[in-house]
Amino acid sequence: MAKAMPRVGSRRNRRIGSRKSARRIPKGLIHVQASFNNTIVTVTDVRGRVVSWSSAGTCGFKGPRRGTPFAAYTAAANAIRTVIDQGMQRAEVMIKGPGLGRDGALRAIVRSRILLTFVRDVTPMPHNGCRPPQKRRV
């Protein structure tokens, strides 16, 4: 029986390096989506590629505590901590949603060492779009 030749280009043979630490991002966008139940903070570069993200649920908050301003503060601090190590100095902030976490997330972003160019509210507002559902009869 002939010996099997080892595959030269296999993934197991070479070390896979982390690409996240190699990228330098001087400017980016911070998207905050604050609903009543959770707050999601996503940090992207200027082209829109996600660099880091965090939410109140991934930070360990469960149930109704995910919608609190403190949970949003913790989520924003978690998401920003990784991009500060990658060299982000300036950012634009887009806030979406009616939740309580809007202020908490913005407070965490301001306390970090990132210079904010602008803060914009991008909450979608209907211009009398869809017809509302019929009133519930019990």
| Domain segments of the chain as ranges | 27-121
Assess whether pLDDT exceeds 60 at residue 91: yes
Residues 96/72, Cβ–Cβ less than 8 Å: no
Pinpoint the alpha helices (H) of 1-138.
69-85, 101-111
Question: CA of 61: how far to CAs of 52, 57, 98, 117, in Å?
Answer: 19, 5, 19, 30
Q: How many CB atoms lie within 10 A of CB 45?
A: 17
Assess whether pLDDT exceeds 90 at residue 12: no
Assess whether pLDDT exceeds 70 at residue 1: no
Assign domain 27-121 one CATH number from 3.40.50.410, 3.30.1490.20, 3.30.420.80, 3.40.640.10: 3.30.420.80
So what's the pLDDT on residue 113? 85
Task: Name the 3-class secondary structure at 83.
Answer: helix
Assess whether pLDDT exceeds 70 at residue 67: yes
So what's the pLDDT on residue 22? 60
So what's the pLDDT on residue 108? 95
